[in-house]
Amino acid sequence: MTRSLNHTILLLLLAAALSQCKDRYDAPHIAPSAGYLVVEGYITGNGPTRITLSRTIPLSDSRTLKPEKDAQLQVEGDDNSSWPLADQTNGSYGIDTLPLNPAVKYRLRIHTSGGKDYLSDYAPLKPTPAIDSISWAITPDGVGIFANTHDPSSATRYYQWSYEETWQYYSARVSNWKYKGPPPEMIFRTYDEQIYTCWGSGIATALLLGSSDKLSQDVIYRHLLRTIPGGSIELANKYSILVKQYALTEDAYNYLTLMQKNSESLGSIFDAQPSFLKGNIHCLSTPTEQVIGYISAGNVQTQRIFILNSQIPPELQYRFSCPANDRIVPLDSLEDFFAPGKGYTPIDQHFSMLTGMVDGYLGNFAGCVDCRIRGGVTTKPSFWPN
């Protein structure tokens, strides 16, 4: 449900303070050379099941991901049912649907390409109550996104959320032409080749947990999921967020809460964790080997909302502008400005006031014209309204 942890999991709570100690400290646990296995995901009874495998890496390593590739995974029920998960490349494994039985408990079995076997404990298939609403409001920090839910039976109590967000934005200038060469040639853009409208996307990168355990009723009200800072590109035109809600057992919630606290002390769930985390996944090949992760099972509830630019106060809106005016590029200089790597993108033809003929092309910095440079894609998502 979140991205893979990127750095070595430190094993003792005291490790966070070691830099202040005068005496040398030797940790009793030595990480394997390949790193600890990190298992992330949720066995889902009413939608796709996705499991991500990765390995922890040393703090000094600059990489952001070390996926565990070419493994074999399967979901098993305590009624002897089983389903293999397809390898979706780069450490991701999944299946679109699983016919799970609420009366059955489920676990995850892993066989790595290195020949090691891992197995999670059986987890009950917890029903997840529906999301009452996803609301938003202007806050001192920008735009806050909130989850609201409740369980009339008071059987849930422990919740986790994740989200997928998408936003539409425009470049500052419309490009009607594109450069091809050598030799230099200008070609009119088709509609499918437009680079004016883009959609960016992101996912939750923090653990989002909530509990009603200390309340008389199982109600979650205005639980903050996301704050979009004012002036962010997400607020350029239209923003959408798809929120996913999961029911957890108390043990799973406690495990993830400890991970959350560790992450907050260091800044990100992708940073090293200052205390040892023991989940419900075990290495069968080497019983003493530690595994990072906790596998839960249940149904997932989802809800999507849209926020329009017109609903956002002007002072919070994103402004896409160019630092310079358009430039007239003569016909004999097209390659110097518009060839790959030259930094300019053509906009439109320029006509001579004397002859009425095309004597060049208007252009501007690529970042002002090509919306893809700001991280988006020009393909409209299937769920996006017209």
pLDDT digits (tens, 9 = 90+) for 15-35: 333 334 434 444 445 556 678
Spatial contact of 84 and 42, defined as CB atoms under 8 Å apart: no
Name the H helices within the chain. 250-266, 334-338, 366-369
The yes-or-no verdict on residue 3 having pLDDT over 80 is no
**231-264 pLDDT per residue, tens:** 999 999 999 999 999 999 999 999 999 988 876 6
Q: Looking at residue 27, what is its pLDDT?
A: 45
Spatial contact of 177 and 351, defined as CB atoms under 8 Å apart: no
The number of C-alpha atoms within 13 Å of 280 and in the hemisphere containing its C-beta is 23
Q: Looking at residue 263, what is its pLDDT?
A: 67
- Domain membership of residue 4 (yes or no) is no
Tokens describing residue 170: 């425009």
Residue numbers of the domain that contains 136: 13-169+200-314
Same domain for 156 and 281, yes or no, is yes
Same domain for 323 and 351, yes or no, is yes
Same domain for 222 and 363, yes or no, is no
Same domain for 181 and 152, yes or no, is no
- Domain membership of residue 120 (yes or no) is yes
- Domain membership of residue 1 (yes or no) is no
**285-340 pLDDT per residue, tens:** 999 999 999 999 999 999 999 999 999 999 999 988 888 999 999 999 999 999 99
Same domain for 117 and 236, yes or no, is yes
DSSP 213-233: TTSSS-EEEEEEEEEEETT-G
**79-126 pLDDT per residue, tens:** 999 999 999 999 999 999 999 999 999 999 999 999 999 999 999 999
Same domain for 237 and 284, yes or no, is yes
Same domain for 253 and 350, yes or no, is no
Spatial contact of 370 and 175, defined as CB atoms under 8 Å apart: yes
- Domain membership of residue 381 (yes or no) is no
Same domain for 62 and 139, yes or no, is yes
- Domain membership of residue 3 (yes or no) is no
Among residues 283, 314, 345, which one ends one of the domains? 314
Q: Looking at residue 224, what is its pLDDT?
A: 98
- How many other β-carbons are positioned within 10 Å of the β-carbon of residue 175? 23
**74-89 pLDDT per residue, tens:** 999 999 999 999 999 9
Same domain for 236 and 327, yes or no, is no
Same domain for 161 and 184, yes or no, is no
**Counted domains in the chain:** 2
Rounded to 5°, angle at Cα 373 from 370 and 375: 125
Same domain for 270 and 237, yes or no, is yes
Tokens describing residue 292: 């990072």
- Beta strands at 123-126 and 117-120: parallel, antiparallel or unpaired: unpaired
Q: Looking at residue 56, what is its pLDDT?
A: 86
Same domain for 125 and 35, yes or no, is yes
Among residues 294, 314, 334, which one ends one of the domains? 314
- Domain membership of residue 386 (yes or no) is no
- How many other β-carbons are positioned within 10 Å of the β-carbon of residue 216? 7
- Domain membership of residue 7 (yes or no) is no
| CA–CA separation, 203 and 236 (whole Å) | 18
- Domain membership of residue 380 (yes or no) is no
Among residues 263, 288, 314, which one ends one of the domains? 314
Average pLDDT over residues 54-58: 84
